[in-house]
A and B are shown apart, each in its own frame.
Chain A
Amino acid sequence: MPTLFAHKIATLNRRRWLAAAAGLALGLAGLSNANAADDTIKIGILHSLSGTMAISETTLKDVMLMLIDEQNKKGGVLGKKLEAVVVDPASNWPLFAEKARELITKDKVAVVFGCWTSVSRKSVLPVFKELNSILFYPVQYEGEESERNVFYTGAAPNQQAIPAVDYLMKEEKVKRWVLEGTDYVYPRTTNKILEAYLKSKGVAPADIMINYTPFGFSDWQTEVSKIKTFGSAGKKTAVVSTINGDANVPFYKELGNQGIKATDIPVVAFSVGEEELAGIDTKPLVGHLAAWNYFESIKTPANEKFIKEWHAFTKNDKRTTNDPMEAHYIGFNMWVKAVEKVKSTDPDKVIDALPGIETPNLTGGIAKMLPNHHITKPVYIGEIKANGQFDVVWKTPGLVPGDAWSKELEGSKDLIGDWVGKKCGNFNVKTNKCLGSDS
């Protein structure tokens, strides 16, 4: 290696040499800087601040800054101050991987909080595995994954989709189902799970209609009138919406304009929260539903305190709070507890310490990190109110543990994730074998 290096140096011309020397000097300076700042623990924040996903992810960056700020006011962690390192992956999936690598290798962060879309999570996964770091992922997702380096603080399908369908079946006596989604991995997997679940509950295939629309779809006239027609077959009909982000506003506007009221055909959404409703006139939408593990309107002392701090931190008392923000709140507190338990930020130690850690959530319950790296969550069904908030009309009796692998799907019903006993993310309980990383 040194000879090769010498050879390379020899072949460099003078100007390059200078540049390289300067680079080296800078690098050394950076290194010594890192040493000097050793009394802080760095936390990476990997959320898009520009591009399509900025609409959702910017808020999560802000809430992380707030949580870190609060923790520092309490004296930091292990006697060290926390320092946030914010990068902008600009809604660009390959850039997520690059920025993650930069955070871990260059900034030497102890943990990363980030990602929103599943494709961004899939893109950073190899980086976290290779460099052995920790990612907290705060968004509800399609499941079918349990990785050693990732902690999933959002809902798995059994913590959102299935309870929502149960509610509609029991309370609204829904017999006919429209599964309407944006065309990408989360809606497709969720709908596959829901379809299998509905069929297992005796719903005829003719009573299930599945539609997909492209990202950012804005002309909903045909789709909405299709829903209207499907809903007039005499049986109570509901729409289960996995429509993503931007397409929701024109969808709901069209529903309102075509006069589809929640009393006729209720729509239950998994991606519409307080933030999304902020852009819509909600009066025609009163009664449509959303399933989440947190709503801003839930009255608990912890939640009231959180909202107050949020308003103070953002200096804007109109900023709403939402479910992924609570997920980061839980994830951050879990990480702090784990680090304090093992008195180290070493990823291996923290990863082993996290399962079993319990921390209060904002709705009065206790979130517990499970061996499959998912957490326990309550499930709430909220109805949209005229003021753009949700009114909780139903909740699960207790906390629901997140399933990494869906029990409804043929390929995954025998799998479990267990990073404590089996040290495996996809352990097949039938064959007693770990499938390993290649499947």
Chain B
Amino acid sequence: MAANAFDRIRSIVLSVFLTVALTVPALAGAFEDGVAKFANDDFPDTEEAIGLVANSGNPLAFPIISALQDDRLSADPDTKKVYITRQDGKIIDAATGAPVDKLPDNAASVRLNNRLRRSVEAALGSLTLLSPDPAKRIAAARSVFKSHEESALPVVEGALAKETNKAAKDAFAEARAAILLNTSGISDADKLDAIATVKARGDQEALALLTDLSDQSPLVTKAAASAISSIQSRLAVWSAVQNAWYGLSLGSVLLLAAIGLAITFGVMGVINMAHGEMVMLGAYTTFVVQDVIRTNLPGLFDYSLFIAVPLAFLVAGAIGVLIERTIIRFLYGRPLETLLATWGISLVLQQAVRTAFGPTNREVGNPSWMSGAFELGQITITYNRLWILCFTLAVFAILLAMLRYTALGLEMRAVTQNRRMAASMGIATSRVDALTFGLGSGIAGIAGVALSQIDNVSPNLGQSYIIDSFMVVVFGGVGNLWGTLVGAFTLGIANKFLEPVAGAVLGKIAILVLIILFIQKRPRGLFALKGRAVEA
């Protein structure tokens, strides 16, 4: 497999070599000079080296530059020799390609800064334009679009002529347009065509390219201005769509954090200030699971969250039951004492975690299926947010079904509606109380697993969600799960449409004021529970 991949890279490099060799006469010795410059550990020298190596047409150019990008290129400052550590772990001499047993002791990897990273990307772009993999060709074309180096034009045009893949062809055409627009001495007609191509692309980068144009003929300048305004109006529509998506995503996070509270506070009426800490315990469970997997079974890392979800439910749920049995059950019907006691519990739990895991953030990784993003039209949707939205809705549906269709759910509803009646019907109310509290806490723990993917896992994690959670439950209507759902999404979307206009700080204040006004009008929230619900 590895050998196969290497062969393929070789063939790419050879084809690049052929094209480059035809266009740029390779200077004898330039390649060797370039490679030696990598060993100087000096940014200007490295920059020069990248240029020399990339334009040398030497078959080792591609391995060298890609090794440089991945931090696999090292140099010995004493002997001025440069080595490539290949992806399969084998080491070769960068200047000759000869295999080497091991790196010299004082070899250090060649350092890059941002400017050099841009040169490396541009160089790799022109080196991979002819890759057999269409995805790589597209990526290469995109990086040429960004760098619009005039020297890449012949290769781009050659590639464009024989390209068969539709997406890659578009990418090459856009790259060519970007180069033409930034080259002097091109006819206006060609430039207008180029502007049309860039306009069709219509994204932020196209906008950046067009805004950056200078020294053009009046005709071209005018066309560019009209293209800019058309792209801008299209992007404005997309930005509304984007805000709606961000709102949904924020709403799902709010819902996830609040859903456990909707049980403990909403259904049971317990003002549980330690709710946030249950979320935190869930997040720390995820950390422990990932830690164990990392050291013992690295292959299972992508499944770590599936393992963490039930465990977090059990851990947080068990602690919830423990708290209910030892403290909260003595305080039913005394909201002030409950508030203070649970506040105390939250501090105890925080400090316990701080003592056990240390005060600093713990790293919880994203599994590969939760990293990155995809483009939908002009908006970027990140996978972690998308999965959290799905996950939240799933948790919500399961919880709803549980309350409606299981015996425990029936007992819970009975006890919360009329405790004495339920007791006289033979329901063990205190057992149901404990299980309900455990369920609410367990769901908070599950929320912690998801939130560990977007927030930092520190002892303070819970505190940042407790206020928002109460806000959602109160706004949605105490005692009503659907109210929590609608409340969370309403707040999320309202917040995200306010944020771009008012800024994050004012946006949050505005939301709080709106909720206060709303509660004045409807003290029991969006969906007030009607009927004979007995207040404590």
Query: A interface vs B, CB < 8 Å?
Result: 49-52, 54-55, 58-59, 171-172, 183, 211-214, 216-219, 221-223, 225-226, 228-229, 231-235, 246, 248-250, 253-254, 256-259, 262-263, 266, 275-276, 278-281, 287, 289, 383, 385-386, 391, 393
Chain B residues near A229 (CB, 8 Å)?
Answer: 204, 235, 239
Instruction: Say how far B364's CB is from chain A's closest CB, in angstroms.
Output: 8
Is the beta-carbon distance between A383 and B114 smaller than 8 angstroms? yes
Check A211/B503 contact, CB under 8 A, given A229-B204, A233-B211, A234-B211: yes
Instruction: Give residues 220-236 of B contacting A (CB, 8 Å).
Output: 235
- B456 contacts across to A, CB distance below 8 A: 246, 248-250, 279-280
Q: Are B121 and A263 in contact (CB under 8 A)?
A: yes
CA distance A54 to B359 in the complex (A): 6
Residue contact A172 to B114, C-beta cutoff 8 Å = yes
Q: Which of B372, B454, B460, B504 contacts A250 (CB 8 A)?
A: B454
Q: Kindly list chain A residues whose C-beta atoms are within 8 Å of the C-beta of B351.
A: 50
Q: Among the listed A52, A235, A249, which residue makes an inter-chain contact with B455, where contact means beta carbons less than 8 Å apart?
A: A249
CB within 8 Å of A: which of B461-496? 463-464, 496
Contact B249–A221 (Cβ < 8 Å): yes
Instruction: Identify the 6 closest CB pairs spanning chains A and B, nearest first.
Output: A279-B361, A234-B212, A249-B456, A234-B211, A232-B204, A257-B382
Q: Which of B243, B249, B456 gathers the greatest number of chain A CB atoms within 10 Å?
A: B456
Question: Which residues of chain B are near A54, meaning CB under 8 Å?
Answer: 354, 359, 459
Residues of A within 8 A of B499 (CB): 222-223
Other A-B pairs beyond A257-B382, A280-B456, 16, CB < 8 Å: A50-B354, A55-B361, A171-B113, A218-B464, A221-B246, A232-B207, A246-B361, A246-B460, A250-B455, A254-B382, A257-B385, A276-B361, A279-B360, A279-B457, A287-B114, A385-B71
Across the two chains, which residue of chain A brings its CB closest to B385? A221
Task: Pick from A232, A279, A289: contact of B363, CB below 8 A.
Answer: A279
For the side of the interface on B, what is the size category?
35 or more
Chief secondary structure at chain B's binding surface: helix
The CA of A58 and the CA of B246, in the complex, are separated in Å by 36
List 6 A–B pairs whose Cβ atoms lie within 8 Å, in order of A's numbering.
A221-B249, A233-B208, A257-B371, A257-B384, A257-B385, A280-B361
Chain B window 486-518, contacts with chain A (Cβ cutoff 8 Å), 1 for yes, 0 for no: 000000000010011001110010000000000
What separation, in Å, do the CA atoms of A279 and B366 have in the docked complex?
12
Residues of B close to A216: CB separation below 8 A: 460, 463-464
Verify B455–A258 contact, CB threshold 8 A.
Answer: no
A183: contacting residue among B111, B384, B505, CB under 8 A: B505
User: How many Å lie between the Cα of A431 and that of B481 in the bound state?
Assistant: 68
Report how far A385 CA is from B83 CA in the complex, Å: 20
Q: In the bound complex, do residue A263 and residue B111 qualify as a contact, i.e. CB atoms below 8 Å apart?
A: no
Given A228-B204, A263-B121: A222 and B243 within 8 A (CB)? Answer: yes
- Residues on the B chain within 8 Å of A233, using CB: 207-208, 211
Do residues A263 and B460 form an inter-chain contact, with CB atoms below 8 A? no
Partner of B361, one of A249, A258, A259: A249
In the assembly, what is the distance between CA of A35 and CA of B344, in Å? 38
CB 8 Å contact bits of B67-102 with A (1 = contact, 0 = none): 000010000000000000000000000000000000
Q: Which of B121, B380, B500 contacts A258 (CB 8 A)?
A: B380
Partner pick for A383 among B113, B210, B458, CB 8 A cutoff:
B113
A393-B43 in contact given A221-B246, A226-B500 (Cβ < 8 Å): yes
The chain B residue sitting closest to A226, CB to CB, is: B500
B416 interfacial contact with A, CB 8 Å: no
The answer on a CB contact under 8 Å between B458 and A280 is: no
Q: With CB as the reference atom, state the residue of chain A lying closest to B500.
A: A222
A221 to B253: give the CA distance in the assembly, Å: 13
**A186 nearest CB across to chain B (Å):** 15
Contact of B253 among A50, A217, A219, A254 (CB under 8 A): A219
- Bound: A259/B360 CA distance, A: 26
- Assess whether A212 is in contact with B457, with CB atoms less than 8 Å apart: no
Cα(A265)–Cα(B349), bound, Å = 40
> How far does the alpha carbon of A372 sit from the alpha carbon of B62 in the complex, in Å?
55
Q: Mark interface residues in B99-138 (1 if CB within 8 Å of A CB, else 0).
A: 0000000000001111101100100000000000000000
Q: Are B455 and A262 in contact (CB under 8 A)?
A: no
Cα distance A289–B383 in the bound complex, in angstroms: 26
Q: Give the shortest distance, in Å, between B222 (CB) and chain A (any CB).
A: 17
Tell whether B373 is near chain A: CB-to-CB under 8 Å: yes
Name the CB-closest residue of A to B496. A222
Is B325 interfacial (CB-CB < 8 Å)?
no
Most A CB within 10 A of own CB, among B205, B351, B454, B459:
B454
Tell me if B51 is interfacial: C-beta within 8 Å of chain A.
no
- In the bound assembly, the distance between CA atoms of A122 and B235 in angstroms comes to 46
Alpha-carbon distance A262/B115, docked complex (angstroms): 10
- Distance in angstroms between the alpha carbons of A218 and B362 in the assembled complex: 16
Q: Is the CB of A52 within 8 A of B460?
A: yes
Q: Give every chain A residue within 8 A of B118 (Cβ-Cβ).
A: 263
Interface residue B209 (Cβ < 8 Å from any Cβ of A): yes
> CA of A228 to CA of B203 in the docked complex: distance in angstroms?
11
Of B246, B385, B463, B504, the contact of A212 (CB 8 Å cutoff): B504
Report which of B208, B365, B505 forms a contact with A232, defined as CB distance below 8 A: B208
Q: Contacts A171-B115, A257-B382, A262-B117: A213 and B504 contacting too (C-beta < 8 A)?
A: yes
Q: Are B360 and A275 in contact (CB under 8 A)?
A: yes
- Which positions 346-395 of chain B face chain A at CB distance < 8 Å? 347, 350-351, 354, 358-363, 365-366, 371-373, 380, 382-385
Evaluate contact between B111 and A391: CB separation under 8 angstroms: yes
Encoded as 1 (CB less than 8 Å from any A CB) or 0, chain B from 441 to 461 comes to 000000000000011111110
Q: Are B382 and A214 in contact (CB under 8 A)?
A: no
Interface status of B342 (Cβ within 8 A of chain A)? no
Closest to A168 in B: B114
B250 close to A (CB within 8 Å): yes
Question: Is A217 touching B504 in the complex (CB atoms < 8 A)?
Answer: yes
Tell me which residues across on chain B come within 8 A of A228, comparing CB atoms. 204
Q: Scan B309-343; emit 1 where CB is below 8 A from any A CB, else 0.
A: 00000000000000000000000000000000000
Residues of A within 8 A of B239 (CB): 225, 229
Of the candidates A223, A258, A385, the one whose C-beta lies within 8 Å of that of B373 is: A258
A235 to B242, CA, bound (A): 24
Contact A212/B113 with A218-B464, A250-B455 known, Cβ cut-off 8 Å? no
Contact B242 A225 (CB under 8 A): yes
What residue in chain B is nearest A258 (Cβ atoms)? B380
Contacts of B359 in A (CB 8 A): 49, 54-55, 58
| Measured CA separation A218–B384 after assembly (Å) | 14
Known: A50-B350, A222-B243. A266 touches B114 (CB 8 A): yes
Which residue in B114, B385, B459 is a CB contact (below 8 Å) of A263? B114
The interface residues of chain A lying within 8 Å CB-to-CB of B457 are 279
User: Bound state CA distance, A383 and B117, in angstroms?
Assistant: 12
Docked Cα-Cα span, A342 to B496, in Å, equals 61
Residues of A within 8 A of B504 (CB): 211-214, 217, 222-223
| Shortest beta-carbon distance from B233 to chain A in Å | 14
Partner of B114, one of A217, A235, A262: A262
Q: How far is the CA of A235 from the CA of B208 in the complex (A)?
A: 8
In the bound complex, CA of A50 to CA of B353 (Å): 11
How many angstroms from the CA of A276 to the CA of B359 in the assembled complex? Answer: 11
- Chain B residue, CB-CB nearest to A385: B71
Partner of A218, one of B207, B366, B454, B505: B454
Query: Measured between C-beta atoms, what is the minimum distance from A60 to chain B in Å?
Result: 11
A280 x B363 contact (CB < 8 A): yes
Residue from B239, B350, B504 with most neighbouring chain A CB atoms (10 Å): B504
Chain B residues with CB below 8 A from A391, complex form: 111
Contact A281 B454 (CB under 8 A): no
